[in-house]
Amino acid sequence: MSNYNHDLIHLNTADPTLIIEAAYATPHTFLGVAVYPENSLFLMKPAAARLRRVQSKLREQGLGLKIWDAYRPLSLQKAMWDRVQDDRYIANPKTGSRHNRGCAVDCTLVDREGRELRMPTAYDDFSERAHRDFMDLPEEAIRHRRILEEAMKSEGFLPLHEEWWHFDAPEWEQYPVLDINPYERSYQHLA
């Protein structure tokens, strides 16, 4: 692949049934300001295809995915690192993150009407409560965390131990760290 920019696709193109709620398009995150110009998210084509298959399986169960973050420019990674210098929760921009490669997705489960299901914590909770093995939680939250993890793993996504919402596509190593603005161009449909 010579032009990785062309491998990033808009998640609404990958599957219009995904609920996109780009967390960083609002000021309601630990950053305190909106850093994405619109409610749009992007992934590399193979990761987006995996996500589409997860969504299809979940829809058969009356569930679905809400996506909070996906591709993240390296410049944003640097701003995040400046706020939270803890590599359990924010990847050091010196090495970059799987988000910077377009191969990580932050998501949660929703019901048939698009309402979020109870999970262990809110998004971007930088505490042990967000860890996948934290069990001092309501049974419902543990059950939903397990459903999400099993659905994502069924299509090859790799869970991050410290964040119940974070999953990496297994092909992440094939892609370089990118610092491009995906909002400046249109994106191709999945083949």
Residue 2, pLDDT above cutoff 60: no
> How does pLDDT run across 73-114, given as a tens digit for each residue?
999 999 899 988 988 889 999 999 999 999 999 999 999 999
Closest among 173, 170, 139, 131 to 154, alpha carbons compared: 170
Q: Is residue 51 part of a domain?
A: yes
Q: How far apart are CA 33 and CA 67, in angstroms?
A: 19
Q: Is residue 128 part of a domain?
A: yes
Contact 120, 142 (CB under 8 A): yes
Q: Is residue 64 part of a domain?
A: yes
CATH code, domain with 122? 3.30.1380.10
Closest among 93, 124, 115 to 19, alpha carbons compared: 115
Number of domains in the chain: 1
> How does pLDDT run across 108-144, given as a tens digit for each residue?
999 999 999 999 999 999 999 999 999 999 999 999 9
Domain with 49 in it: 4-184
Q: Is residue 189 part of a domain?
A: no
Q: Is residue 191 part of a domain?
A: no
pTM above 0.85, yes or no: yes
